Amino acid sequence: MLKTSRLLKEINSLEKIAGRFDPNKDYGGTYLTAFYFEDDFGIEHCHCTHKYFGEQPEEVVPLIIQTIDEHFNEYPEQFSQPRLWVFDDFQWFGSEKDTPVLVRSVNDDMLLELRQKLNGFAEDRFPDYKPHVTLMDDQEMPHLIARPVAYCLMTGDTMLKQWKIGP
């Protein structure tokens, strides 16, 4: 499992952040890529999803890994530079607008070229990518400052591969 270190954070209540992964749930062949932070805020699997693939046959996984590896090799500077992201816009997500989230109001520095390449495996249901951290309840938080340190391919609570971000 990804080990974390101390994070610069400005947050009222760490209990408000939801990992949204249930380690007891069988996710079957559901895959996603996500950014993991320097600290997990005390919540296992706290992340910012980059690309959700949904259910995929197991033989597709090596092709996803190859695509990410090739992108890392083609654009090494995208993964070597340190990042500091601010999630500062409270919104409601979900078909019934019942999921509270903190969103990045500036959608830059999110490896959008890689995300576009990964669309070949599963087209997005949501055309506009909105990087966010899901909250446990509807109490607004002013903002969250997080430093992504790894890009990971996941299935459920299992990390299949991680790529380091930053120095």
Check if the beta carbon of residue 53 is closer than 8 Å to that of residue 121: yes
**Per-residue pLDDT reduced to its tens digit, 82-129:** 778 888 888 888 888 888 888 887 767 678 889 889 999 988 776 678
Q: Where are the domains of the chain?
A: 14-18+29-164
Which residue has tokens 């380690």? Answer: 23
CATH architecture of 14-18+29-164: Alpha-Beta Complex (3.90)
- DSSP codes joined into one string, the chain: -----------S-GGGB-----TTS--TTEEEEEEEES--TT-TT-EEEEEEEEE--GGGHHHHHHHHHHHHHH-THHHHS---EEE-EEEEETTTT-EEEEE-SS--SS-HHHHHHHTTTS--SSSS---EEEBSSS---S-EEE-EEEEEEEETTEEEEEEE---
**Per-residue pLDDT reduced to its tens digit, 4-52:** 222 222 222 333 333 444 445 554 578 888 888 877 665 556 788 888 8
The structure's pTM equals 0.74
pLDDT at 76 over 90: no
Q: Among candidates 71, 81, 29, which has minimal Cα distance to 50?
A: 71
- What does pLDDT average to over the chain? 74
